[in-house]
Every structure is written in C-alpha cells, then in structure tokens.
Structure 1
Amino acid sequence: MMTHMTIAPSQAHPAPGGPPSTESLSGMVAFVRAAESGSFVAAGRALGLSASAVGKSVMRLEAKLGVQLLNRTTRRIGLTHEGARFFARCKRMLADLEEAENELFQSTSSPRGRLRIAAPSLGSRLLLPLVPEFRRRYPDIELDIEFSDRMVDITQEGYDAVIRTGRLADSQLLARPLAQYGPVVIGSPTYFAGHGEPATPADLEGHSCIRFRSPASGRPEPWRFSRDDHTFAIDPHATLTFNDMEAVLAACISGLGLACVPDFIAKSALEGGMLRAVLGAHTGTEGVFQILWPPSRHEAPRLRAFIDHVASRLGGLPSHEVRFRAA
C-alpha cells in the first residue's frame, strides 16, 4: 500500500528573498541525490550520511518551500510533479556550482591568471631579462608590469606586488629582498684614450661629467663614494644633464663623458667592452631592491611563482621574507 507524506500549508515557511542558505543548499544536494538514486539509503551512502539524516534534510527543504518534492513509499521514493520541476533546476545549479569549484581549484592550485606588478623605471633592466624564462615556465600567467617612478598604492590600485628601493614607509606588506646595487663610475674606451682615467673622486674636476636629474627632486643626483667605512657625496660639474638614465648611458657609451649610474644599468655595456668602470675602490653597495605584497591566507600560486623566480635569478641575498615595518 502506498503511503504519502504531505506538508500542510500551515507548516510551510515562506521562502525568503536573496540567495539560498547553507541549509537550503545541503537540502538541495540531499534531494537531488535521493531523487537520482530513488532511495534515502543510497543517497546517504553517496553523501557519507545516514538515511535518516538525508530524509530529514529533504523534509526541512520541503517545509521551507511549502511544497512536497518526493513521494515516499516503504520501498522507494519518487518525484512529485513540483519535485520534478525543482529537480531539473537544482541539478543544473549544482552542476554549475561544481564547475565553478573546479575552475577555482585549477586557478589556485597551479600558476595561472593575470599578475600585476609595479616597478621603478630602472627596474626594467633587472626584470626584462628574466621575463622570457618565466613565460616559458608559466605560460598560463599573464604578466602586466608597469615601470614607473610614481608611488603606487598596491591595495587601492589592484597590484599584486610592487618592487621598490630606498627607505620604505611604514607598511603591513610582506617584503623579500631581491638584489643589492651600488654606484659605478663609467666611461668609454674612446673617452679614456683622450682624457685619461681619474684615480680619486677629486680628479673628477678635470673631466666631463654626465649627470642624471632625479624626477623626484628635479635636481641632478649626487655621486656617492665610500672612504674609511663611511660614505660621502660630491656634485661634479655637469657638461650634460638628462632626466632619463638610458640617455645618460647612451651618452657615456658615445664617449661624451663620465657617468655615475647603478651598476646593473651598465652591466651589459661593461661586459661587452663598450664601457669601463673606474674608481672601484671608492664605491660600494648603496641599496636593495625589494618586492612587497599584501599578506594573505591564500596566496595566489602565480604570485609565489613570480617572487621565487625573480629572487632566485637575481640571487645574492638571503631568501627570508618579513612583514615590513620601517625603523
């Protein structure tokens, strides 16, 4: 004999507006599995629950909706007319949810997606040589790098990380040192053949000097030297001044004078013999490039891949990471 369970209208609770609750989603899963298998026992086995728990979950869903979804018999359960319509919608919704979960899992378990990085203008000399290998290793990561000397707001502007030098403001960002750099005084072989080489910083008075004008201060940057464990700066007379470091380098390679630039700027020209460094005994390390990023409980694999790649390729510094606070 078939027995049916009907929920009286007085017991029904009107469905609230807005998204379904967690309990409603659990009830939908139980309902779909029970309808598919035709049994609370089989549905419970699939969900890791007791048959009683599945049945109660479906009953709570029916009570909330104010409609009977399943016909119960002693041997089997079946869909009501309303239940069949609801079953089709629930099955599509749960399939979409499962697909979304799979997509999210894929995006967070392997490096992929867009990665926005901000770096100082001079950072192109450091980063660009590292990009080809990074793209080969992580073809699913879309790199978006801004080279600019403006101070970006990493959180408000949506950057994943920033690369900075010098003294950093108080911050809750995480930081990892990437590479040290220092000044190097350079000149072309042609220039030295006609003017000789300075032996000390004081000898710069007799040389043509190409200066870099800081975009921050609007003034030519001083040339920094070390002596007896302390540093000092001089302002040699400028025969040429540029507000672009690449222009300074090009003028120096052309034999127009001496220049003082960060060592990584002149690296390839020095290695290629287009420039020679002088006054090496009077120069030392000046600063550190650091990469900073917001702390997160679930750090994106694409960001971790970029940090580790850049740090390992630049090398030379401890690989510790700290929550940065300025002294």
Structure 2
Amino acid sequence: MDSLGSLNAFVQAADTRSFTAAGQKLGVSSSAISKAVARLEERLAVRLFHRSTRTVTLTPEGALFLERCRRIFCEIEAAELELSQTRGAPRGKLRVSLPLVGMLMMPTLAAFMRAWPDIELDLDFSDRLVDVIEEGFDAVVRTGEIRDSRLMMRTLGTFPYKLVGSPAYFGEHGTPQTPADLSAHRGLRHLYPSTGKIEDWPLHGKGNPATADIPTAAVASAIEPLIYLAEQGLGLTCLPDFAIRDQLGKGSLVSVLDDAVRHSVTFRILWPSSRHLSPKLRAFVDFMGENFIPASPG
C-alpha cells in the first residue's frame, strides 16, 4: 500500500507539474510528495522528474512510467467499480474536454446533469489538441479526423454548414445568387485560436470548388459573437446548421446559396481504450450519442 501511495503521489505530481498542487489534491504537504517521489526514484534507480524552482517536468523515463501507472490505477478503479456497479447509479467526477463551440452543446449537457444528478461534470472548453490520456480526461468531444490508436471513438453527428444573414442585411445589401456575388458583401469569419488562421468558406459554383472571396467585416475565435453580429445585420457568416437552428427557426437568420455550400463538420466523442468503461463514462457516451443533435425548434 505504501508503494501505491508513492505511485499516486507521482501521478498527481505528473498531472499538475507541481509538488505543491499534488499535495493540495492529496491533502498532504508538498514535502511529503517530494519525499514520496524521491523514495520511488531511489527504489527504481531512475530519475522521474526534472526539477526546477517553479515546476517539475517528466523525464523520458518518467513519461514511460506514467503511462504504466495510469494503467495500474485504471485496473484498480475497474476492480472497485465491478464490485460496486450493482449497488447504485453512476456517480463521481467526469472530466470532459470540449471544443469552444461546445458552448452550444450546453442544453444537451444540462439535460445530462438532470438525468444523472450524481455525476459531477468537470468541463474544459478549448480548441487546442489535448492529450486525452496524459492530461487525465475521461472523454473529449472533437471534430475532424482522429488518428490515435489509444482512443475509442463514437460519432455523434455530422452537420452541414449554412451561409446566413439577417433579413435586414439582405434588404440593405441584396441577396447573393452565386458565390461570385459575395465579393460585394461583408464576411463575419471564424478564426481558429489554435492556429490563428481564418476558416475558409468552401463553396461550389457551377459544380466546381470555389473559396468565397468576401471582404472581412469581423473575425472571432468563438461562434456566439458571429451569430450575434449576423443577427444584427452586420454581415454574413457560415456556420454548422445545429449552431444556428434556433435563429433559422424564428427567422432572425436566413440561409442563402444552399446549393453552393458543401462543407460539413463531424463531431466525435473519444475516450482512452485502456480505460475501463465506468458506469459514469458509459452513461455520458450513451447520452451524448442519443441526444447530441438538438431538437428542432417549433
């Protein structure tokens, strides 16, 4: 059991990159964490951390050992869960990473919280490419292709893009009939915060791919500001249809050039393949798979 305690101290220190933060999580002093890690390094005859006055970072050997330690604790968790599964509903903290557009998933997440009140959601919103296993997430929701053999995956849905503006905007600027007409309009563009690049509007004109040549009125790294500005009649924006379903339903936004907009986005939920699919994680994966697509308005 003393060995397990040292392993836990090591894992917490690796997760937080700090002996102090690890001690706070485990309810002990930073010196206790430091001594536990030192004993572990002495027993293994290998250095697990590079230490500085402010942070600790894993050595290559430490990174390798961390992965094995995670498996050990996952197996312990799995054994405990197998004994307790029949005694109650899913419960405990569930750490989930979502893209910034995940703010639009809040109705689904709120419904999950009502359905499973004993599960505590720890939500991290970021468009950066997180390391699911190294950063200790139970699951992540992401778009794009995923090529990580360590992860299991379930597709949540694929959504077409819509090019939209407000009725007032079209009343003032006219309605574009072809992608070429967009050069006379104002674009509200999405900026990828991870790369600093503006997202293209891939359109098709007369069956051929075309990139929208539209003057930029504003850029934003989140979708909600683009929706608001479009509703205010300040330009056109191109977004996944689920993000603007309410606005389309009530008529505050109107789609144009539907035949020319061929782009779509696929959302997937991923979780570590080595991790036992706990009741709380299974409940979340199943709920998101069944309820991810928001209900149509009306």
TM-score, normalising length: structure 1:
0.61
1:133-144 alignment runs, 5 A limit? 133-144=111-122
Following TM superposition, by how much is the alpha carbon of 1:305 offset from its aligned partner in structure 2, in angstroms?
0.6
> RMSD over aligned Cα, in angstroms?
2.8
Match of 1:218 among 159, 180, 196: 196
* Native 8 Å contact 2:160 2:264 kept in 1: yes
The one-letter amino acid of 2:93's match is R
* Paired position in structure 1 for 2:233: 255
Alignment of 1:246 with 2:224, yes or no, is yes
Following TM superposition, by how much is the alpha carbon of 1:185 offset from its aligned partner in structure 2, in angstroms?
0.7
Match of 1:280 among 258, 261, 272: 258
* Native 8 Å contact 1:183 1:224 kept in 2: no
Judging changes above 3 Å, is the alpha-carbon distance between structure 1 residues 104 and 142 closer, same or farther for their aligned structure 2 residues?
farther
Judging changes above 3 Å, is the alpha-carbon distance between structure 1 residues 240 and 111 closer, same or farther for their aligned structure 2 residues?
same
* Paired position in structure 1 for 2:248: 270
SS in 2 for 1:289: strand
Alignment of 1:123 with 2:79, yes or no, is no
1:107-256 alignment runs, 5 A limit? 110-125=89-104, 127-226=105-204, 231-256=209-234
* Native 8 Å contact 1:107 1:113 kept in 2: no
Write the distance in 1 (CA, Å) between the matches of 2:189 and 2:132: 31
Alignment of 1:105 with 2:107, yes or no, is no
Residue-pair matches, total: 219
The one-letter amino acid of 1:291's match is I
Unaligned runs of 5+ in 1: 1-16, 20-99, 317-327
* Paired position in structure 2 for 1:305: 283
* Native 8 Å contact 1:108 1:300 kept in 2: no
Unaligned runs of 5+ in 2: 4-78
Judging changes above 3 Å, is the alpha-carbon distance between structure 1 residues 193 and 160 closer, same or farther for their aligned structure 2 residues?
same
Following TM superposition, by how much is the alpha carbon of 1:297 offset from its aligned partner in structure 2, in angstroms?
6.8
Judging changes above 3 Å, is the alpha-carbon distance between structure 1 residues 18 and 271 closer, same or farther for their aligned structure 2 residues?
closer
Judging changes above 3 Å, is the alpha-carbon distance between structure 1 residues 146 and 212 closer, same or farther for their aligned structure 2 residues?
same
Write the distance in 1 (CA, Å) between the matches of 2:98 and 2:269: 9
Q: Deviations over 1:112-132 (max 9, x none)?
A: 11101001000221x211123
Write the distance in 2 (CA, Å) between the matches of 1:18 and 1:194: 73
SS in 1 for 2:198: coil
* Native 8 Å contact 2:191 2:221 kept in 1: yes
The one-letter amino acid of 1:267's match is R
Write the distance in 2 (CA, Å) between the matches of 1:18 and 1:214: 46
Write the distance in 2 (CA, Å) between the matches of 1:108 and 1:295: 25
Judging changes above 3 Å, is the alpha-carbon distance between structure 1 residues 107 and 158 closer, same or farther for their aligned structure 2 residues?
farther
The one-letter amino acid of 2:224's match is E
The one-letter amino acid of 1:251's match is L
The one-letter amino acid of 1:181's match is F
* Native 8 Å contact 1:209 1:259 kept in 2: yes
Write the distance in 1 (CA, Å) between the matches of 2:247 and 2:171: 18
* Native 8 Å contact 2:190 2:220 kept in 1: yes
* Native 8 Å contact 1:181 1:264 kept in 2: yes
Runs of 4 or more above 6 Å deviation:
100-103
Q: Deviations over 1:2-32 (max 9, x none)?
A: xxxxxxxxxxxxxxx989xxxxxxxxxxxxx
* Paired position in structure 2 for 1:69: none
1:11-22 alignment runs, 5 A limit? none
SS in 2 for 1:174: strand
Write the distance in 2 (CA, Å) between the matches of 1:266 and 1:18: 54
* Native 8 Å contact 1:198 1:204 kept in 2: yes
Write the distance in 1 (CA, Å) between the matches of 2:283 and 2:81: 21
Write the distance in 1 (CA, Å) between the matches of 2:92 and 2:293: 26
The one-letter amino acid of 2:227's match is L
Identity %: 40
SS in 1 for 2:259: helix
Judging changes above 3 Å, is the alpha-carbon distance between structure 1 residues 190 and 115 closer, same or farther for their aligned structure 2 residues?
same
Write the distance in 2 (CA, Å) between the matches of 1:101 and 1:282: 54
Write the distance in 2 (CA, Å) between the matches of 1:109 and 1:275: 46
Judging changes above 3 Å, is the alpha-carbon distance between structure 1 residues 267 and 101 closer, same or farther for their aligned structure 2 residues?
closer
Alignment of 1:294 with 2:277, yes or no, is no
Highest CA radius of gyration, 1 or 2? 1
